[in-house]
Structure 1
Amino acid sequence: MSDNRVDPLLPSELERVIFQFAAYTEPISIPSLMLVAWRVKEWVAPLLYRVVLFARVPSALKGVHCYPHKDNSTFFRALSQKPSISKTIRHLCINDDVDLIISDCSSLEDLWGSAGASDADSLSSCPLKRLYCSLEPLFQYKGIDFQHPLFSRLTHLEIFDRGVEDDLTSWAGLASIPHLMHLAFNEEDLFPIVPDLLRLCTQLRVLVHLNAAATSWPEVSEGLKRELRFVGMRCGEYIKDWHMGALTGEDYWSRAEVFIAQRRSGSVDPLQWYIEEDASEQLL
């Protein structure tokens, strides 16, 4: 590591902006940037754990655009040595076998994966804006309380729950989430109540049906085809897509918004409610 006694050629604030921009755009370069100088390490070290990924990482994620933390022992060793690391985590992807104390992640805004080790109360201590998980386990299968503080800041929600019921009374509470603008689900069982959800959830800008592997799309009513906020999408590489979104903002949500804009402008047939290709498979 270089000697800090050497006077920098640029003003400190400008230098900081440059190094932090490099860290944001190429997260895998952060360990190397930390070796430049002590001051640079102080600037970019918190960004090292801004996005934390515990999952079976596709080989494509090992490229220049990402820095996945998939070695549990290494991460928890760092966490034990410097507990403040948990407060720098903004985006987190976890599996069932990861016993992470989420309540310590006081800056966590984006959580993807199974939250089986947590409950709604512990998650509500985080300023979550994006949540991708099964909701029923968070409430011990006693009914989802959509007025729980867990949902108070959410703008994006993907429902993983399997075997969901097409009972509007079970899901009408989604309309009470104050800032929810993006909603996604996987199960076709919810199709019968999609028109009602769009009617009730007036703030929704996007409602996505994610279809990972099916070779055909289900028939929908003419009325639903005309609902521009409703989009069908294929997303076979969930983890890759989430991770790229955490790093760059480009994910299935942003693709759905572009598609909706194209339908509104007429550059895409307004009745074409689904996207044919799976862009997640082409992600770097």
Structure 2
Amino acid sequence: MRDPRLPPELEQQIFETAALLHPGTIPALLVTARRVQEWTEPMLYRVLRFKLGTPQTEAFLHALRTKPPHFPARSVRYIVFEAHMPMLPPEVGLEVLQKCPGIVHFGTTKSFTGRVVLDALRGLPNLRVLTLGLSSLDSDNSELLVSALERVTHLTMLDSYRANIIELLLRLPRLTHFAMKHSMDHSGSPVPLPDPNLFANILSSCRHLQVLLITSAKSPFLVIYPHGAPTTDPRLVFAFRDVGYVGFWSGWLAIAYGQDEDIWVLAEAIVKARMSGDKPWQPMASEWVDRPKASPQPGFFRPNLHQIH
């Protein structure tokens, strides 16, 4: 490639924007010029499905351990530790998170859980969106848990129920969006929560929440909520989403890759429309965030675990 005719800062912005909007062009951009490679190679790992043995993960680990520290710091923004057997060595997961301070969206499965996750979360200054099973963190120390989640604004809990969830939500200073799911029984029907007033209690206690999002593969109305939503609070939003492993994480990745609309943005629009209406909002079973448009991502490992996440 010839010497640039544009200011370096502008040229860098152009190539980085191209890589961001059209990730499939990154391999071609890498061989354009050395400076272009330095700008665009981190974009290869902007969204990272971390699973040992896959080409993307192994290439990333090599780059992580051979390139200067600024490379991983500029690369990963979305990362999910995919379920696989054997389990991911805790030191490997911790190494990745410690060297990637630019992570904004983090999701993890049973392959990377426990106290080490809490240690890692406290070292992510840009973390805002978190998806995990809270019960898997193995922490009886509430102060430790709160300090690990203090930067999170959007929290998706993979557990179907947690007894002290309101106490935890009240202590998270930046949290504005919280999601949980309706579990399914063996026949595929939604299972009632142990506390039928849980959603109403969360919203009445946590006034700082802007959205309480409940996901379900099938409608719980008529069966569990025959008279409509369990509360008239307009911040309660239901969404059709696959709660199984493959479908759930495929949806997560589709949003990360820009293949589907952000479920939080869709939920916010529903809440805003309710609050700005001329008439008081009347809960209706039909007010849902619809199913995602993107197809499931290929190549997901299907874990043989008692709990899918």
Q: What is the distance in 2 between the residues matched to 1:35 and 1:191? A: 58
CA deviations 1:165-212 (Å, max 9, x no partner) are 4x4x4532211100101100014526522111112211111100010x
Whether 1:183 aligns to 2:181 is no
Distance 1:229 1:276, change over 3 A: closer
2:218 maps to which of 214, 217, 224: 214
CA deviations 1:80-102 (Å, max 9, x no partner) are 32263432322111124444222
Distance 1:247 1:281, change over 3 A: closer
Distance 1:240 1:161, change over 3 A: same
Does the CA contact (< 8 Å) of 1:147 and 1:177 recur in 2?
no
1:14 maps to which of 10, 15, 18: 10
In structure 1, the residue matched to 2:98 is 103
In structure 1, the residue matched to 2:255 is 245
The size of the alignment, in residue pairs, is 262
Whether 1:78 aligns to 2:63 is yes
Does the CA contact (< 8 Å) of 1:54 and 1:98 recur in 2?
no
Distance 1:241 1:226, change over 3 A: same
**Structure 2 residue identity aligned to 1:177:** L
1:25 maps to which of 16, 21, 24: 21
Moved more, 240-249 or 198-207: 240-249
Moved more, 148-157 or 234-243: 234-243
In structure 2, the residue matched to 1:142 is 140
Q: What is the distance in 1 between the residues matched to 2:144 and 2:205? A: 14
Distance 1:206 1:280, change over 3 A: farther
Distance 1:176 1:186, change over 3 A: same
Distance 1:276 1:75, change over 3 A: closer
Normalised TM-score (structure 2) = 0.73
Normalised TM-score (structure 1) = 0.79
Does the CA contact (< 8 Å) of 1:34 and 1:41 recur in 2?
yes
1:254 maps to which of 265, 274, 281: 265
Distance 1:176 1:93, change over 3 A: same
Q: Which secondary structure state, in structure 1, belongs to the residue aligned with residue 102 of structure 2? A: coil
Whether 1:194 aligns to 2:179 is no
Does the CA contact (< 8 Å) of 2:155 and 2:178 recur in 1?
yes
In structure 2, the residue matched to 1:42 is 38
Provide structure 1 residue ranges, at least 5 long, that are not aligned to the other structure.
56-68
Q: What is the distance in 2 between the residues matched to 1:223 and 1:149? A: 33
1:275 maps to which of 267, 288, 293: 288
Distance 1:220 1:180, change over 3 A: farther
Q: What is the distance in 2 between the residues matched to 1:258 and 1:70? A: 38
Identity %: 26
- Shift of residue 155 of structure 1? 0.2
CA deviations 1:56-98 (Å, max 9, x no partner) are xxxxxxxxxxxxx764333323323226343232211112444
RMSD: 3.1
Q: What is the distance in 2 between the residues matched to 1:209 and 1:240? A: 18
In structure 2, the residue matched to 1:94 is 81
- Shift of residue 145 of structure 1? 4.5
Does the CA contact (< 8 Å) of 2:267 and 2:289 recur in 1?
no
Does the CA contact (< 8 Å) of 1:185 and 1:209 recur in 2?
yes
Distance 1:214 1:19, change over 3 A: same
In structure 2, the residue matched to 1:234 is 240
Provide structure 2 residue ranges, at least 5 long, that are not aligned to the other structure.
183-191, 298-309
Does the CA contact (< 8 Å) of 2:48 and 2:57 recur in 1?
no
Moved more, 198-207 or 115-124: 115-124
